[in-house]
Amino acid sequence: MEQLEILSKNDEQTVEEDTAKLDFQINTVNVMKFAIPTIVSMIAMSIFGTIDGIFVSRFLDVKSLSAVNIAMPILTATVAVGMMIATGGSALTARKKGEGKEKEARENFSLLIVFSTILSAIVAFFCWLFLDELLIHVLGADELILPLARDYILPVVIGMPIALIGFVMSKFLIVDGKPTLAMITSSSGGIISAGLNYILLGVLGLDIFWAGMGTTIGYLVPTIVGVIYFIFKKKEGLYFVRPKWDTKAVTGSFTSGVSEFITMFAWTITSTVMNNIVMNIGGFEGVAAVGIALGAQGIVTSIFVGYAFGIAPIVSYKHGKKNDEDIKKIYQLSMKIMTVLAILAIVMGVILASPLTVIYVPRFTNVYNMSVAGIRLMSASFVFVSFNTFATAFFTAFEDGWVSGMMAFMRSIVFIVATLLVIPGMLGTMTGVWIALPFAEVLAILVTIYYLKKMKKVYHYA
């Protein structure tokens, strides 16, 4: 009987220790302390995504850079699936931890990892099977770009399950109260990828295939670390257990994370539409400029994404505990933080446009001029991007897939595709391409304001 009491006390202590990771006093210092590792991690992932373009443009040529940009939506679509499962699943498990359902949270976590592995393998197989058709008929590769795009993306497609599982693992590390470890693994993967690209392309003089191979190897780091961490950690929080099928958990993760899927997948659509439009306006040099500008924009906006993702598990946990007072504090604090971050982002976009572009191409070339102009024009949208990004992640944290999904759909597909199809055609220049995205964000902020006002009675955050 005494032993049972000791075990019970130990279990209670373990739950309390695990709970403390998400149950802290809400103030600027504590919230930022929790969010900063995720912000750094997202910045690292964005830089990770641009590394191939940098080394390819420096050590190969502009055509190869265009090939990377043409093929990149395939990888982005994979990350979109991972983001959907990761954000929806993490909201689910964080809420259950807040409700004290630790065993159920572990079972759901283990099930989602297995499900993600199988799903990513199926997606990778079909991408491999129809690779040329995807590159030509969907992504807009011409006869000049096709062989290069195929060589680059092939190892990435084969490594798709590695990339997806690594992303999902990183998100669950944050839910388990280990945002710093998630940051370290993501950053390490990017550093390894950069080192390999330099050696393979710069030192050994290999072709574009090896740029894709370096990227795939870099994605191994968060996957391996995540697997080891969750296998050997058996004391508290999340760890691998025998998965138990739960239809509600799987569908709930998909519906809750649908906004993040739409946002990322829409980026695939946006890149594809842009590349096809720009091919007619600026040729392969225009496509290269778009790749540089979008890469730079992605690095800056990853600050907003990192903050929104970083605090989402806290919101889910507080929602599970029905702690409306803390949720109000998080919301009010986040509005102020996002305002400051937006102002910093605009300044960074204007100042860093030239330095970031020079990393890829020499000054005053056609690609340089187009890219610098594009980054500076698109920087005007950051004030709207910040609040649009926060709002979709905020409602995902409440597991409200309908609201977050609708916001993401209108913002990332309807508005962006519509402005891209209309404005560049009206102006007939690259300027039309660059101002289409800020205009779409302005339209999206109206939807964001509408839902933030409408849903405050439901979730009591204001």
Residue 8 lies in a domain: no
Per residue in 205-215, is it b (16+ CB within 10 Å) or e — as a string? ebebbbbbbbb
Reported pTM: 0.68
Q: What is the mean pLDDT of residues 173-194?
A: 80
Structure confidence at residue 317 (pLDDT): 82
Structure confidence at residue 8 (pLDDT): 37
More confident residue, 261 or 456: 456
pLDDT at residue 18 greater than cutoff 80: no
pLDDT band at 265 (very low <50, low <70, confident <90, very high): confident
Instruction: Mean pLDDT check: name the lowest of 281-285, 338-342, 428-432.
Output: 281-285
Distances in Å between the alpha carbon of 328 and those of 256, 421, 455, 462? Answer: 21, 40, 13, 6
pLDDT band at 15 (very low <50, low <70, confident <90, very high): very low
Q: What is the mean pLDDT of residues 75-100?
A: 77
Per-residue pLDDT tens over the stretch 115-162: 888 888 888 888 888 877 777 666 767 777 788 888 888 888 888 888
Sign of torsion over alpha carbons 89, 94, 100, 106:
positive
Number of domains, the chain: 1
pLDDT at residue 6 greater than cutoff 60: no
Assign residue 227 a region: left if phi > 0, alpha if psi is -120 to 50, beta otherwise?
alpha
Residue 374 lies in a domain: yes
pLDDT mean across residues, the chain: 81
- Separation CA 233–CA 191 (nearest Å): 26
The closest alpha carbon to 162, from 195, 191, 124, belongs to: 124
pLDDT at residue 1 greater than cutoff 60: no
Structure confidence at residue 62 (pLDDT): 77
Residue 104 lies in a domain: yes
pLDDT at residue 191 greater than cutoff 60: yes
Distances in Å between the alpha carbon of 440 and those of 27, 385, 402, 431? Answer: 33, 10, 21, 15
More confident residue, 46 or 16: 46
Q: What is the mean pLDDT of residues 208-236?
A: 83
Structure confidence at residue 68 (pLDDT): 82
Query: What percent of the chain has pLDDT above 90?
Result: 9
pLDDT band at 14 (very low <50, low <70, confident <90, very high): very low
Per-residue pLDDT tens over the stretch 346-378: 998 888 889 888 888 888 888 899 889 999 998
Domain enclosing residue 311, as ranges: 27-237+245-459
Residue 274 lies in a domain: yes
Residue 14 lies in a domain: no
pLDDT at residue 293 greater than cutoff 90: no
Per-residue pLDDT tens over the stretch 333-347: 999 999 998 998 899
Instruction: Mean pLDDT check: name the lowest of 11-20, 165-174, 375-384.
Output: 11-20
The closest alpha carbon to 416, from 436, 401, 397, belongs to: 436
pLDDT band at 261 (very low <50, low <70, confident <90, very high): confident
Residue 230 lies in a domain: yes
Structure confidence at residue 138 (pLDDT): 67
Residue 284 lies in a domain: yes
Q: What is the mean pLDDT of residues 419-435?
A: 86
Residue 255 lies in a domain: yes
Structure confidence at residue 99 (pLDDT): 77
Structure confidence at residue 388 (pLDDT): 93
Contact between 331 and 60 (Cβ < 8 Å): no
Highest mean pLDDT among 74-88, 281-295, 314-328: 314-328
- Separation CA 144–CA 322 (nearest Å): 58
